[in-house]
Amino acid sequence: MKKKEVAIIGAGGHAKSCIEVIESKKNYKIIGIISNSKKDKIGKYKVIGNDQEIKKIKNLTSNVVLGVGGLKDNSIRKKLFKKFKNFGFKFPAIIAKSAVVSKKTKIGEGTIIFNFVYINSGAKIGKNCIINNRTLVEHDAIIEDHCHISTGAIINGDCKIGSGTFVGSGSVLLNNLKIKKNSFIKMGAVVKK
């Protein structure tokens, strides 16, 4: 099977984590990094342009992965996602080799599912989400677009998390909760209502 070529947007720590997941899958070939920073490469991958050189990058590949993280605020991720979509780029959903994702789930474009995540039957994950390492998303939970569910969080069954929400590391959300959009749930929180 021929590998699809993909570029990574961003040159920070989250981009490094995305590279690890993509390399584990072996179905994508990373051709380089898109970054406005002064770095010239991350590991073995060179910076091939910045976000002002979109036409040049589009000639190299139409597939991108958003390697810009979001702590507390996911607005930059949302802005970059929309900018590159408007130029016709595709955002494949990336699922780590070690993740367990039910075949009865829906994963939106541009979402990345990290290592040792478990997503149960009937869950729906929106576009451009980060489902970080060791997260559990239980049955029928809905995570809307542009959310970051941080490391080790537990989202119990039938929860609905509004778009743009950040859920901190180790948080536990009781089943059937409705979280409004752009919410911030701190690390280690136990959310019951």
How many CB atoms neighbour CB 83 within 10 A?
13
Summarize pLDDT for 62-91 with one digit per residue, the tens. Answer: 999 999 987 777 889 999 999 999 999 999
Output the six-digit token pair for 102: 């039910």
Ramachandran area for residue 56 (φ above 0: left; ψ -120 to 50: alpha; else beta): alpha
What is the C-alpha to C-alpha distance for residues 31 and 107, in angstroms, rounded to an integer? 24
What's the rounded mean pLDDT across residues 11-19? 94
**Do residues 163 and 181 lie in contact, with contact meaning Cβ atoms separated by under 8 Å?**
yes
Question: What does the angle CA 144 – CA 147 – CA 150 come to, to the nearest 5 degrees?
Answer: 130
**Do residues 171 and 149 lie in contact, with contact meaning Cβ atoms separated by under 8 Å?**
no
Question: Residue 90 is which amino acid?
Answer: K
The reported pLDDT for the residue numbered 101 is 97
Give the pLDDT band of residue 1 (cuts 50, 70, 90).
low
Domains of the chain, each with CATH number or no CATH: 4-86 (3.40.50.20), 95-193 (2.160.10.10)
Residue 145's nearest CA partner among 181, 178, 169 is 181
Q: Which single residue is written with the structure tokens 């489902």?
A: 131
What's the rounded mean pLDDT across residues 106-132? 98
The reported pLDDT for the residue numbered 69 is 87
